[in-house]
Chain A
Amino acid sequence: MIAVLAVHAVVALACAALGRRLGRHVLLVGALAPASSLVWLATGPSPTEKISWLPAVGLDLELRLDGFGTLMVALVGGIGVLVFLYAWHYFGERPRLVLFTSYLVGFAGAMFGVVVADNLLVLYLFWELTSIASYLLIGFEDEEGVARSAALQALLVTTLGGLAMLAGLVMLAQSAGTYSLSGLLGGPPTGPTVAPALVLVLLGAFTKSAQFPFHFWLPGAMTAPTPVSAYLHSATMVKAGIYLVARLAPAFAGLHEWWRPLVCGVGVVTMIWSGWRATFQTDLKLILAQGTVSQLGFIMALVGLGLPEATFAGVAMILAHAVFKAALFMVAGIVDHEAGTRDIRRLGDLGRSMPVAAAVAVVAAASMVGLPPLLGFVTKETALASLLSEAGWPATIAVAAGSILTTAYALRFLAGGFTRYATDDREIVVDEAHSPAAGFVAGPVLLAIVTIVAGVFPRLVDGLVAGAAGALGSEGHHLALWHGFNVPLLLSAAAIAGGWLLWRYPPRAVQEAAARLPRAKMVYASAIVALNRIADRVTSIVQNGSLPIYLGVIVATAVIGPGVILTRAFRLPESLIIAENSIQAVTALLVCVAAIGTANVKRRLGAVLFLSAVGYGVAVLFVIQGAPDLALTQMLIETLTLGLFVLVLHHLPTHFENIGWRLRQASRLILSILTGVTAGAFALWAAASRQAAPLSGEYLTRSQPEGGGANVVNVILTDFRAYDTLGEITVLTVVALGAAALILTGRGRSEVPHNDEELVGQKGGDDR
């Protein structure tokens, strides 16, 4: 299995890197990848493989092939090969086929991975990769805005479900104590988190398999080239959700009483709603897309029961549906390709120009409707019988009602594309087309033959289907063409008759009424709009570009955070010394006054002078505390700063701009006071609660004997903490470089500071 995955990866990369010169034939190279999985399947491979990856979190490449996996691999590989061959004709010569091939091969590999993964996380991994491949493929015609938004829509919906599923899978695995899928199913966990986990996983399955109300992305995805629709969006990828539910249902459906109503309910609603919508589409592909959603709902309802007979029927339906729906999509693509439109209001009577394609369409549609002796008939009879015996009448009736719709839209598809059947909105413009090349119809023809042969001789596929069902715990069921005259047959016949009536006499009023119902697609669209609006709103509030507000918020956070704790626990220290002597008190007072002055004065120069007064005042405090070094440094720095300020002030307006708006000023004032009070209280509190002797004592005692200097400040700077000083002089250097460069650039002599002779000397040492 790992080898097959590797082949896919290599083919995808090789096509991307080297495929350009092959032209459209790159698609044939691409076909090698799905072919390899068929070849591998034929060699009778070993059922399990494992590569250790990240065992600590349960993420190991554990792969396992059982009967169900075999069926799925056969579909992914078989239809894959046909799709590549079909695409080879479909595209003809055009650019970008290299990308298309790589995406499609990548998808085939990922889908293969989904159905052989035996590790929940690996399953998720491939699951998401199929979503990404689907995104890239739907958006293949990337100049079209429609394609881009459809791609995004599909991606978002399936990824939303996928992420929910990831959470669910992790929760399940944590309850079960294993990330192995077979381990999980072998001993289904119980516990409070299992039910929510299963709901999350189902969310993933429902979005992926386009179940109501997440179904809308699939019709949207029809903007993809038709080979993609045939492959991903009908035959394989959209079956992933069904695949997962089919795996889980036998183990969990019986343990949770909500499971069957939920899953079958969703399935049936999907079947009927989308089936209904399919009956009045005008685009051949959209009829098929809505029909696909409807059929997916049908299969979901079957496999969701988790009961043996229904599971068997569901698995058979997966096969039958993949075969006839892929054929139908391919025919729709051929019509589009040869006639230039898919609109059934303009198309008509193509049966004459492309009889083979029309015949395929008839066979495939008949299989979809459930006419004997086709595969679709065999499986539908089995399905109805299983519902009758295992789920009771309500579900059976609902599905039969859904079948009426199936018949109706199948007729609409056939009549719309291949007959002159007249309706009021129809004005046939295109009634002739090129006859498609033999190779183009070869794939659909083959699928139609399979539909017929497997219907007449169900034994041919019975092994595959029974094996698949057996892997899901459903033993002893077999396909048969004829079950005798029984209730399912009656129901089928009634559904076909009803469908014909519905198609022949469409209830316009009901259609129009239904069209006015709120649609999930609209919900999605408004969600995206709302998301963008919220994002804009939130961003314009938090990111308003105002520096004072940024600063205010930061200061407020810094004050409020510790401040809250402070107000709870603050006590004034017992021996509070306000000032040690009067000079200290006076200086401190002056510093405070100067600080207030700085904030209030209107002229810039005044503010600078007040600020200097603060600085000099602090220097005086240093002197009083017996730190002449610090005082000296502070004095010099203040003087230089003052000088620099004076130089700079020339370039600035003499007055500060008026802040205006009293509220803003008041809030600044309050914030400043709060900050000062908090900082002061914090400092008192911190100093009062010191238990240990400070390091300064050590510095004092060691300075002379060990540091070799009597000036402890200097010894600290150049010895004890010289490492800090090294950093600080670096800071100075960089500041000087940056400031000087900016000043010189700011003079506007040039964009780039070439005028740096000031700093590095004359040009000449330039060895460029």
Chain B
Amino acid sequence: MTPLLPVIVPFGAAAISLALGRRHALRRSLGVLALVANLVASVLLLQEVRDGSVVTVVVGDWPAPIGISVVVDLFSAIMLSVASLMLLAVFVYAIGSSRTDDTTLFFHPVYLLLASGVSASFVTGDLFNLFVAFEMTLVCSYVLITLGGSKPQVRHGTTYVVISLLASTLFVTAVGLVYAATGTVNMADLAVKLQAIDPALREALSVLFLVVFGIKAAIFPLFFWLPDSYPTAAAPVTAIFAGLLTKVGVYAIVRSQTLLFSQDTHSTLLLATAALTMTVGVLGAIAQDDVKRILSFHIVSQIGYMIFGLGLFTVAGLAATVFYVVHHILIKTTLFMVGGLIEERTGTAALRRLGGMLHTSPFLAALFLIPALSLAGVPPLSGFVAKLTLIQSGLEVGAYMTVSVALFVSILTLFSMTKIWAGVFWGAPEAPPPMPEGLESSRPRFPPLMVGSTAALVAASLLFVVAAAPLYQLGQRAAEFLFEPAQYVEAVLGP
């Protein structure tokens, strides 16, 4: 199984979809088909590397540092699999949504290219190619975030684009510096050659990459763009961004810190960053009164937990991070999908204009309650299991400060989830504002595709709980391999 399939399949589908023009039904089936194939390919890859082997090819059949290496190890495969599941679910959801259906011509191809770019980020073994993959996802996100082109979207989209451009500039500068220092951009090659350079320079590069990827991952103090730009986008777009994009940044941080800069562990820096990210993010969430804005700030806060696990630099900690990332992708995507359903149903996401939906839409309430409690770490949901592993590994090495912050932030998370619950689902039902012209009659209030895909992800998150043991084992093994970069290097460069 070539590790390139998850890149090629959606890419090809995007190209065809673009050339298809207005044949919407065809484009829809093509997209679903491609994303199903993508999911299958990812899972097969996961199957292939679960024993710890590393699948690698060099594009163009050049020897490793010359051509671009494409590498899938267990961590990549886990990310690929969960990402492709989200991509499929959200695509189905988007077909049902009024804001991303046929009226927006470029949604399908751009979404598929986004999928391709996300996969490319996870499978690449080349730093410059990672930049290219980032660019792919970024430009797609620029288009998707402004989809519809309303004024607030363009205004907040501008923030997003400008900051992303700055991040790209920093990234390409950093790649340039790395190339200047080592003469290579192949990550396995870098893992070897970075050992030979001035340790102080390596440390400086390490911090620079932390900043570069930190912008993408939305850690403190680099996260401002996220809560401003995400909530204005269409619901399916926000859902997939919330689930995947920041996690691509987290992936890159984990990958670079364990593979390239395994010598220099910025444990204190990372733990402090983690604590601040959790706290500031959750405080931001508390200050909001709009479902999508609350959820957006929680993305930031939750990233802190992932950085926390990495910052411990133990196998248990990193395993917890991997586990947490998977849980978070699933839950966060689901929550935004529920947010989108609320909006689809009522035309608003502002808490003060909502209420009583527990009684008008009890099923939706259940679809919200499960992932919301999971996000707050309430047992026995996936968030509890994930948070537990983090707390355990933190306490094991005596990171009491960060553990305390993590626990306290949990309760604040619960607090702001109850704010949504009480605002949207409890209370007297508000009269919903009139639907936008033309949408009123033509659409069911709960498009079955949207509800179905959301429910499927909720079910998946429950399955996550049941299958926690094998999943955790995967995460643990992935963490072990991440701490053994020699294996990765050997797979790419040969013995």
Contacts and interface: CB of A to CB of B under 8 A. Distances in A.
A683 B178 CA distance: 9
Residue with the greatest number of chain B CB neighbours at <10 A, chosen from A543, A566, A760:
A543
A163 B410 contact: yes
B339 to A, nearest CB: 19
B224 A553 contact: yes
A694 B178 CA distance: 11
Contacts of A698: 65-66
A694 B23 contact: no
Given A142-B356, A691-B182, A751-B149, 10 more contacts: A95-B359, A148-B422, A152-B418, A554-B215, A685-B201, A699-B66, A723-B59, A727-B133, A738-B110, A756-B105
A164 B149 CA distance: 47
Contacts of B403: 167
A557 B219 CA distance: 12
A686 B135 contact: no
Interface string A552-589: 01110110011001101100000000000000000000
Interface stretch (A55-63, A513-521, A641-649): A55-63
Contacts of A761: 21
B411 interface: yes
Given A170-B392, A545-B228, A694-B179, A551 B163 contact: yes
B431 to A, nearest CB: 15
10 contacts: A58-B392, A125-B380, A156-B415, A163-B408, A683-B180, A689-B197, A702-B62, A720-B60, A742-B154, A765-B23
Interface stretch (B75-83, B89-97, B140-148, B449-457): B140-148
Interface residues of B, number: 128
B481 interface: no
Interface of B is mostly: helix
B36 interface: no
B105 A760 contact: yes
A721 B67 CA distance: 6
A755 B433 CA distance: 29
A692 B183 contact: yes
B470 to A, nearest CB: 10
Given A132-B378, A148-B426, A724-B68, A767 B105 contact: no
A54 B385 CA distance: 9
Interface of A: 16, 52-59, 95-96, 99, 121, 124-125, 128-129, 132, 135, 139, 142-143, 148, 152, 155-156, 159-160, 163-164, 166-167, 170-171, 174, 531-532, 534-536, 538-540, 542-543, 545, 547, 550-551, 553-555, 557-558, 561-562, 565-566, 568-569, 679, 682-683, 685-687, 689-696, 698-699, 702, 719-724, 726-728, 730-731, 733-735, 737-738, 741-742, 745-746, 751-754, 756, 759-761, 763-768
A734 B143 contact: yes
Interface of B: 11, 14, 18, 21-26, 59-60, 62, 65-68, 70, 102-106, 109-110, 113, 116-117, 120, 128-129, 132-133, 135-136, 139-140, 142-143, 146, 148-150, 154, 158-159, 162-163, 166-167, 170, 173, 176-186, 193, 196-198, 200-201, 203-205, 207-208, 210-212, 214-215, 221-222, 224-225, 227-228, 280, 283-288, 356, 358-359, 362, 366, 373, 378-380, 384-385, 388-389, 391-392, 395-396, 403-404, 407-408, 410-412, 414-415, 418, 422, 425-428, 468-469, 472-473, 476
Contacts of B117: 727, 730
Given A555-B166, A568-B200, A543 B224 contact: yes
Contacts of A163: 407-408, 410-411
B347 to A, nearest CB: 15
B396 A690 contact: no
B416 to A, nearest CB: 9
A2 to B, nearest CB: 14
B415 A741 contact: no
A166 B378 CA distance: 11
A171 B384 CA distance: 17
Given A554-B163, A760-B21, A686 B201 contact: yes
Contacts of B415: 152, 156, 531
Contacts of B404: 167
Given A96-B359, A155-B418, A737 B182 contact: no
A283 to B, nearest CB: 24
A685 B208 CA distance: 14
Contact of B23 (A52, A735, A766): A766
B82 to A, nearest CB: 18
Contacts of A16: 362, 366
Residue with the greatest number of chain A CB neighbours at <10 A, chosen from B116, B149, B184:
B149
A125 B387 CA distance: 13
Contacts of A722: 59-60
B165 to A, nearest CB: 10
A735 B129 contact: no
A503 B119 CA distance: 75
A17 B178 CA distance: 59
A724 B172 CA distance: 13
Given A124-B379, A550-B159, A569-B200, A720 B62 contact: yes
Interface of A is mostly: helix
Contacts of B205: 562, 686
Contact of A156 (B212, B287, B411): B411
A717 to B, nearest CB: 12
A152 B422 contact: yes
Contacts of A125: 379-380, 384
A142 B403 CA distance: 34
Contacts of A554: 163, 166-167, 211, 215, 221-222
Contact of B104 (A540, A694, A753): A753
Contacts of A166: 388, 391, 407
Contact of A542 (B136, B221, B379): B221
B163 A682 contact: no
A538 B280 contact: yes
Contact of B113 (A152, A734, A760): A734
B283 A741 contact: no
A171 B407 CA distance: 14
B2 to A, nearest CB: 13
B227 A128 contact: no
Contact of B129 (A128, A679, A727): A727
A752 B146 CA distance: 11
A174 B395 contact: yes
Contact of A569 (B59, B198, B408): B198
Contact of A737 (B66, B110, B177): B110
Residue with the greatest number of chain A CB neighbours at <10 A, chosen from B154, B204, B208, B210:
B204
B411 A159 contact: yes
Contacts of A545: 228
A121 B411 contact: no
Contacts of A160: 411
A738 B181 contact: no
Contacts of B215: 554
A679 B68 contact: no
A542 B276 CA distance: 12
A52 B469 contact: yes
A699 B149 CA distance: 44
A727 B132 contact: yes
Contact of A738 (B25, B139, B356, B366): B139
A599 to B, nearest CB: 16
B208 A562 contact: yes
B473 A56 contact: yes
Nearest to A542: B280
Contacts of A534: 283
Contacts of A124: 379
Nearest to B475: A56
Residue with the greatest number of chain B CB neighbours at <10 A, chosen from A121, A164, A538, A692:
A692
Nearest to B410: A163
Contact of B427 (A128, A148, A766): A148
A751 B380 CA distance: 45
A690 B197 contact: yes
A723 B140 contact: no
Contacts of A741: 105-106, 143, 149
